[in-house]
Amino acid sequence: MSDSDGQAHEPAGLEGLPPLHSIAKGEVVSVQTYGAFVRLPGYKKEGLVHVSEMSASRVENASEIVDMGEKIWIKVIGREIQGDKVKLSFSMKAVNQGTGQDLDPNNVNGDQDQRRRRKFRDHTGNRITLEAVLNTTCSKCGCKGHFTKDCFSTPGLQYALVPEEEDAASRQQPLLTPAVAPQLDSDKKKKKKKEKKMKKKRKRERKESGSDSSNSTSDECKSKKRRHEHDKEDKKKKKHKKHRSHKHS
């Protein structure tokens, strides 16, 4: 699992550790939710098999895959020195658990996983700080915040933005002076008053026309009643005359 040439070139602090990308069979000594710690024979240091390195599919809890005291095949995928501690990282999915064959001999998948982890690392400590803005005005371009010698504006013709049609129309309209504004308000009030008076007049005319029509209809009804009564009287008189003539005969 290790050779003398590899151990001779080991960096300081990594002596006595399994070589990188080596395959070995170890025993599970601790199971946590985030992974399992594995001890290799002949080495005192234990390594962690993270849940993301246990299977190609998603694993929620390490207890779903391994148990305490179980023997598993692992591949050494990482050796890091963090302060006074040495961190070992193992992988189960890179090795066939039945035969111990290396499923990633060129370490392509392992390198891709490491790149993904680097992308999601927290870099809040390396914040970009902006320098203070200079309280100066450039004599070349008229802008604030830099000196004339640092100005990037080139001499020559300067162009301005063409205003839109709406802006141009609004500019062409004369602005109302404070003396003209109250006059417009008074004119508006007068117009409103006139409109109210006209509405009242129209209402009165409608009422009068309605009353006249009602009076005319009542007069017609009275005249019809009178005619009807007159006709009745005439009929009675005729009947009375006939009756008298009949008696005389």
Higher pLDDT, 18 or 122: 18
Strands (E), 84-228: 85-91
Q: Which of 94-108, 134-148, 179-193, 199-213 has the lowest mean pLDDT?
A: 179-193
Q: Which amino acid is at 243?
A: H
Quick: pLDDT tens for 163-205.
Answer: 676 665 565 555 444 555 566 677 778 888 888 888 888 888 8
Q: Which of 141, 165, 159, 164 is nearest to 151 (CA)?
A: 141
* For residues 37-62, average pLDDT: 91
* For residues 212-239, average pLDDT: 69
DSSP secondary structure string for all residues of 186-204 = HHHHHHHHHHHHHHHHHHH
* For residues 21-32, average pLDDT: 94
User: Confidence band (pLDDT; 50, 70, 90) for 38?
Assistant: very high
What's the rounded Cα separation, in Å, for the pair 33 and 138? 62
What's the rounded Cα separation, in Å, for the pair 49 and 28? 10
Quick: pLDDT tens for 68-78.
Answer: 999 999 999 98
